[in-house]
């Protein structure tokens, strides 16, 4: 009874429009230098002459943006236990400096056991030109109503 959304409160078909986030070239390069240092992510000069015609964001960076939008838009109000994983994660178009990414989530399945529920969702993000840049299905475990240990103080 902590006011958070539990597995009991979700159903297949529930849809949430997420917020948006814009990536600068500096952010794309800085993320990739740490986690995905391939030249087409980290070297604007080299990338300008390469296949993509400029740096593109690491797919991991793109997924991190989607996760952040999900936290801000849904998980911060859900009684989450942990994420289980992603299925059919596809980087469907390059993410370039200055792109503004906007996401959406549709619940596709909720299955309940004694204390927990497994929630499956289809997710996508698109850029300012309505080009889809990533699609995936994500599975997360939530507490059922009355079972959340959640954060102390909740």
Residues at the site binding a second copy, with contacts judged by CB under 8 A: 34-40, 43, 45-47, 49-52, 56, 58-60, 63-65, 67-68, 71, 75-76, 80-91, 94, 136, 149-153
Question: What minimum distance in Å lies between the beta carbon of 63 and a second copy?
Answer: 6
Q: Which of 151, 111, 77, 105 is nearest to 7 (CA)?
A: 111
Question: What minimum distance in Å lies between the beta carbon of 111 and a second copy?
Answer: 17
Number of alpha carbons in the 13 Å side-chain half-sphere of residue 20? 10
Q: How many angstroms separate the CA atoms of 149 and 38, rounded?
A: 42
**Cα dist. 11→8, 73, 124, 152 in Å?**
8, 17, 19, 27
Question: What minimum distance in Å lies between the beta carbon of 11 and a second copy?
Answer: 23
CB 124 within 8 A of CB 134: yes
Q: What is the DSSP string of 116-152?
A: EEEEEEEEEEE-TTS-EEEEEEEEEEEEPTTT---ST
Question: What minimum distance in Å lies between the beta carbon of 129 and a second copy?
Answer: 19
Question: What minimum distance in Å lies between the beta carbon of 154 and a second copy?
Answer: 9
CB of 65 or CB of 110, closer to a second copy: 65
CB of 110 or CB of 116, closer to a second copy: 116
What phi and psi values does residue 21 have, to the nearest 5 degrees?
-150, 140
């Amino acid at each position: 009874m902590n006011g958070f959304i539990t597995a009991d409160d979700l159903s297949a078909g529930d849809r949430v429009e997420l917020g948006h986030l814009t990536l600068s070239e500096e952010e794309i390069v800085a993320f990739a230098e740490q986690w995905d240092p391939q030249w087409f992510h980290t070297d604007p000069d080299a990338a300008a002459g390469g296949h993509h015609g400029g740096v593109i964001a690491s797919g991991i960076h793109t997924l991190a943006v989607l996760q952040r939008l999900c936290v801000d838009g849904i998980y911060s109000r859900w009684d989450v236990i942990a994420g289980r994983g992603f299925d059919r994660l596809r980087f469907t178009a390059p993410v370039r400096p200055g792109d503004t990414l906007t996401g959406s989530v549709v619940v596709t399945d909720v299955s309940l056991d004694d204390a927990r529920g497994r929630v499956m969702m289809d997710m996508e993000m698109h850029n300012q030109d309505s080009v889809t840049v990533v699609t995936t299905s994500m599975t997360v475990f939530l507490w059922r109503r009355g079972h959340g240990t959640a954060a102390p103080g909740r």
